[in-house]
Amino acid sequence: MIGLCLSLGLLAGAPLAHVAAPPAQAAAPVAVTVLNGDFAQPAFAGVNTAVNPHAWSVGPTAGVGTNGGVVRWNAVTSGHPDGLTAAMLRLPNEATHGLKQRLRGVRGGARVTVTYDESPSVSQGCTAAALAQGQTYTVQGAGGARTNRTTLPTTEKLPSNYWKSAWRTGVTLTFTAWGNEPLLTFTSTVPAAQNNNGNCGPLITNVRATQEPPPVDKTIPAGALPASEAFLGNDRRNTADAVAYCNGAANRCTFTAEDDYSFSYYAPARVAAETYFNCTRNTLNRTRPVSTANRTYSDLPAAAGLPSTGTAAPTNMAQQYTQGTGLTPAWNTSQDRQVTEIVQPAEASWIETQAARRRTEGWFTATTKATDPNSDWRLHTVLDHPSTDLSDRIYQRTGPLTASEKQRCQSDRPSAVTPVGATSPAGAER
């Protein structure tokens, strides 16, 4: 089979990615940012405070949740070996008092390891019986099972009449994240008879995490990209809400691409128009038109302007995307070309096109209050658009005729039925 490949500018796009993913490799663990993992913020004076810690939600994830849902103890009273503030888990009810934070930057499918320190309560409101066997709580990362834990016991009081802590450091939880930014939740399960109306619960501090990111999957079709996800602090929000916020001002959000999961590629080749058969005895040269189209795939609301729907000026989010990536793609393209086709005798000829594509995965983010991470907007999205760094391809393909095609070439020439007199001798007219 003879093939002629011409690399041209903008050609037909195909909706399916075709580059096979490499064999999965065990990724090295990378640090995950746990905000206020030592519960030091906001700062407070005195032995303890009922002001909820920044970046954590208590009970519902909308805003900070329940006011006064946890009690934080200062470094002296908590007795932590590294001098850290500690948060005391309170009533055994996740809906109203579970301590929660989304693990920012964690991807769905990542293997996550959370490490933290635990101790029984130091509260004066605890009885000896409540602490003698340790205190119970659960910890869960979204995608993993809820795990029951019990602290070490404590039996000694300090001269200040607070209980002496019994820290177990380096406690770990491992799970596979079911989606982006999984929710980490700590919940007291101390029985009502022992929790003194929520004022006697286990202590948590020094929360940190790592992840083993999943390998990039280049087999996902452009028409089946993962859905965009939006968060406000720890709360999951509607994508349209995040778009409305980011699109409200030119520099309101910043787009950051995830380079390890963004790449250029060629879509699968597709046949353009008809196949041409040369049934003659001569080489044929012919000019044929080739019409091509290449579009962008995105599930963002049209207001985002990704892709643009007309000739209007780029939206604020489109400008944020360009500033973050350096890309100014033509979101939707079409073109008509004339291709000279050379066909040898007894050969077939056809045209294939292969679109150059760019897939970009990343986050639009905005910090609205420097002291309140629960007011941060984050919008994760995947865009698949015509490439800006690869040329599309067009192929003239030729090859021998198949048996059925040869049979067609050898068939009788179409003609009208022979008139009356076909069997009569020539000469006489009737």
DSSP label at residue 355: -
List C-alpha distances in Å: 10 to 5, 288, 295, 331, 337.
Answer: 15, 17, 11, 12, 10
User: Please, what is the average pLDDT of the chain?
Assistant: 90
Q: Is 176 exposed, middle or buried (0-12, 13-18, 19+ CB in 10 A)?
A: middle
Strands (E), 109-228: 111-119, 136-141, 147-150, 168-176, 183-188, 203-212
pLDDT of residue 12: 35
Residue 207 has pLDDT above 60, yes or no: yes
Average pLDDT over residues 26-38: 89
pTM of the model: 0.85
Report the alpha-carbon distance of residue 186 to residue 18 in Å, rounded. 43
Structure tokens at 360: 């970009």
Report the alpha-carbon distance of residue 335 to residue 333 in Å, rounded. 7
The helix/strand count (H/E) of the chain reads as: 6, 24
pLDDT of residue 1: 32
Identify the CA nearest to 383 among candidates 293, 302, 321: 321
Higher pLDDT, 11 or 222: 222
From first CA to last CA, the distance across the chain in angstroms is 57
Report the alpha-carbon distance of residue 357 to residue 393 in Å, rounded. 11
Residue 124 has pLDDT above 70, yes or no: yes
Average pLDDT over residues 378-397: 94
Greatest mean pLDDT among 79-88, 277-286, 398-407 lies in 79-88
Average pLDDT over residues 250-276: 94
Reduce the DSSP state of residue 319 to 3 states and report it: helix
β-bridge mates for residue 293, sequence order: 334
Identify the CA nearest to 351 among candidates 6, 51, 1, 48: 6
Report the alpha-carbon distance of residue 151 to residue 205 in Å, rounded. 13
Pairing of strands 356-366, 254-257: antiparallel
Please state, for a pLDDT cut of 70, what percent of the chain lies above it: 92
Q: Could you identify the residue written with the tokens 């009533």? A: 91
Reduce the DSSP state of residue 99 to 3 states and report it: strand
Average pLDDT over residues 321-333: 94
pLDDT of residue 20: 43
pLDDT in tens, 128-148: 999 999 999 999 999 999 999
Residue 283 has pLDDT above 50, yes or no: yes
